[in-house]
């Protein structure tokens, strides 16, 4: 397929022209009846009961069906799926590998273009708008509205990411946040208060200089802070901290030429030059740590501070001797507390077989306490196995995913996080505050040329950090390429 059609040509072929019949054929045939109950009830064999103050019964599944689920198969996912099929014995689910889904998703795109593919698939949200606009996902608004779910049940940023032109095209599963993590022992070693992290970019520079540690030959034994590629920050984080806008409200104009992007990138360039030496040296240092079998440079205590997504917490918990802490990222002068969040969502392609059953899987997997409890229990069991296999001393600990379904967030905090350590509770509370108040969604920031935007802004940063171009020059190239891609995407949408 690759030799016959380019990725852009394939995306253009995935228009909405032939979607009307598929949409009509896939509308949910729901018979609703409401009964008042005095306690929570759940029937799970051939009808789904959503319980609030009343029970909404949706009789949608009247026969045994078999559906395909393109996901990331692993032991945790398989145990979660086994729980679903126990609760829904009339739905058999075949889980198989989705393949690459961050930088292209060729397997899924090719299948949808051919009218084939799974009933349910997982998709990354940074490209969600781009693919939804091309007709790759079924409009599930009727299912959502008939289910008893409410928009207020979902984290607002992530729910917006799975919508396109007022319609719902997927259910967000989990998300993340980007925060500052620091090594408390390293702070104490150089005379810094381990309870007081840097709050500004200037303080971050000062702390980094104190934390840098070299051997007798002048080589780094430890670096105070590496802004890029170590951890999980990317340019988006520094731009948003500097109030830089990524895209216009109508999603048609790329705004990476705003001077606040160049200011943030210039700060990164100056930081590398003054406190590390070169971009290449930092990358070589990180690669050396990895090749030595020490893993992540921060977890290996070779970097004192790191900008990372909160999924790193489970890795940090595997080293009980590691003393770490967490706080919002430092901000520049005139900046604002900020972060960015991404993650995965479940979708139904227009050609989905047995869409009613597919919806039940999507809802249970992403927007039910039962699904999230099953995931947590499977993760807990896997954590115990890992600690036993690696002979880690202490009580096995794990941090649940950041659920986009708010009732599940509350359940996970009560049943799992609250029973963990103090630092776990602090990390969770910081992430929840971020999600509710000061994060950006990757999907809504990248628009209809998300793939191009992600790649080109990274290219711009690498070019500037390597002194191959000034920040302004590098970002101008990014602007031109991504705007061209955005214009082409909108031309296709506007012509439908």
pLDDT confidence band for 69 (50 / 70 / 90): very high
Between 53 and 278, where is the model more confident? 278
d(CA 95, CA 226): 39
Q: What percentage of the chain reaches a pLDDT higher than 70?
A: 86
Average pLDDT over residues 83-107: 87
Q: What is the dihedral of CA 260, 344, 371, 143, to 10 degrees?
A: 100
Please write the tens of the pLDDT for every residue from 159-190: 999 999 999 999 999 999 999 999 999 999 99
pLDDT at res. 292: 58
pLDDT at res. 61: 56
pLDDT confidence band for 496 (50 / 70 / 90): confident
Topology of domain 7-173+343-367, per CATH? D-Maltodextrin-Binding Protein; domain 2 (3.40.190)
Please write the tens of the pLDDT for every residue from 471-495: 999 999 999 999 999 999 999 999 9
**What's the mean per-residue pLDDT of the chain?**
87
Paired tokens of 494: 């506007």
Whether the predicted pLDDT of 117 surpasses 90? no
Between 337 and 40, where is the model more confident? 337
Point out the least confidently predicted range of 112-121, 230-239, 381-390: 112-121
The correct answer on CATH 3.40.50.300 for the domain covering 178-341+437-494 is no
pLDDT at res. 287: 82
Whether the predicted pLDDT of 348 surpasses 70? yes
Measured between alpha carbons, how far is residue 396 from residues 51, 314, 458 in Å?
34, 10, 37
Residue 161 near residue 40 (C-beta atoms within 8 A): no
Distance of CA 210 to the CA centre of its chain: 33
Point out the least confidently predicted range of 108-122, 193-207, 264-278: 108-122
Helix axes 450-465, 234-241, angle to 10 degrees: 80
Whether the predicted pLDDT of 14 surpasses 70? no
Please write the tens of the pLDDT for every residue from 330-342: 999 999 999 999 9
Average pLDDT over residues 86-98: 95
Residues 6+ apart with CB under 8 A from 116: 351
pLDDT at res. 114: 87
pLDDT at res. 437: 96
Q: Where are the domains of the chain?
A: 7-173+343-367, 178-341+437-494
Whether the predicted pLDDT of 50 surpasses 70? no
Strand 220-225 vs strand 171-175: parallel, antiparallel, or unpaired? unpaired
Please write the tens of the pLDDT for every residue from 424-452: 999 999 999 999 999 999 999 999 999 99
Q: What percentage of the chain reaches a pLDDT higher than 90?
A: 76
Q: Is 437 exposed, middle or buried (0-12, 13-18, 19+ CB in 10 A)?
A: exposed
Give the three-state DSSP class for 183: strand
pTM, rounded to two decimals: 0.86
pLDDT at res. 363: 98
pLDDT at res. 245: 98
Whether the predicted pLDDT of 41 surpasses 90? no
């Amino acid at each position: 397929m690759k030799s016959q059609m380019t990725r852009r040509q394939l995306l253009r072929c995935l228009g909405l022209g032939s979607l009307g019949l598929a949409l009509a054929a896939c509308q949910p045939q729901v018979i609703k009846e409401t009964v008042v109950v005095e306690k929570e009830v759940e029937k799970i064999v051939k009808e789904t009961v959503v319980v609030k103050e009343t029970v909404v019964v949706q009789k949608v599944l009247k026969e045994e069906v078999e559906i395909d689920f393109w996901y990331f198969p692993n032991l945790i996912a398989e145990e979660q799926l086994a729980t679903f099929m126990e609760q829904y014995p009339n739905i058999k689910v075949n889980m198989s590998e989705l393949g690459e889904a961050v930088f292209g998703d060729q397997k899924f795109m090719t299948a949808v273009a051919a009218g084939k593919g799974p009933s349910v698939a997982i998709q990354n949200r940074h490209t969600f708008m781009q693919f939804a606009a091309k007709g790759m996902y079924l409009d599930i608004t009727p299912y959502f509205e008939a289910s008893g779910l409410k928009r207020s049940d979902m984290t607002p940023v992530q729910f917006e990411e799975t919508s396109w032109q007022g319609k719902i095209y997927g259910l967000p599963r989990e998300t993340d946040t980007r925060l500052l993590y620091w090594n408390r022992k390293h702070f104490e070693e150089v005379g810094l208060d381990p309870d007081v992290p840097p709050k500004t970019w200037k303080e971050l520079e000062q702390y980094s200089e104190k934390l840098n540690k070299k051997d007798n030959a002048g080589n780094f034994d430890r670096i105070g802070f590496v802004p890029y590629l170590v951890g999980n920050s990317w340019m988006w984080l520094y731009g948003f901290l500097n109030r830089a806008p990524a895209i216009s409200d109508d999603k048609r104009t790329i705004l990476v030429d705003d001077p606040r992007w160049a200011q943030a990138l210039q700060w990164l360039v100056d930081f590398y030059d003054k406190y590390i030496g070169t971009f290449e040296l930092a990358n070589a240092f990180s690669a050396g740590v990895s090749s030595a079998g020490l893993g992540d440079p921060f977890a290996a205590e070779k970097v004192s501070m790191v900008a990372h997504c909160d999924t790193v917490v489970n890795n940090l918990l595997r080293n009980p001797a590691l003393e770490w802490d967490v706080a919002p990222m430092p901000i520049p002068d005139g900046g604002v507390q900020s972060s960015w969040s991404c993650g995965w969502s479940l979708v139904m392609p227009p050609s989905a077989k047995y869409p009613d059953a597919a919806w039940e899987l999507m809802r249970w997997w992403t927007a039910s306490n039962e699904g999230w409890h099953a995931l947590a229990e499977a993760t807990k069991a896997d954590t115990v196995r890992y600690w036993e296999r690696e002979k880690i001393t202490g009580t096995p600990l794990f941090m649940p995913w950041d659920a986009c379904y708010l009732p599940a967030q509350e359940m996970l905090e009560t049943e799992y996080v609250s029973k963990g350590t103090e630092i776990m509770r602090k990390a969770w509370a910081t992430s929840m505050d971020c999600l509710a108040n000061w994060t950006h969604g990757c999907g809504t920031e990248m628009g209809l040329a998300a793939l191009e935007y992600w790649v080109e802004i990274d290219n711009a940063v690498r070019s500037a950090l390597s002194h191959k171009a000034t920040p302004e020059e590098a970002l101008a190239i990014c602007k031109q390429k991504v705007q061209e891609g955005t214009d082409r995407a909108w031309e296709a949408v506007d012509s439908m």
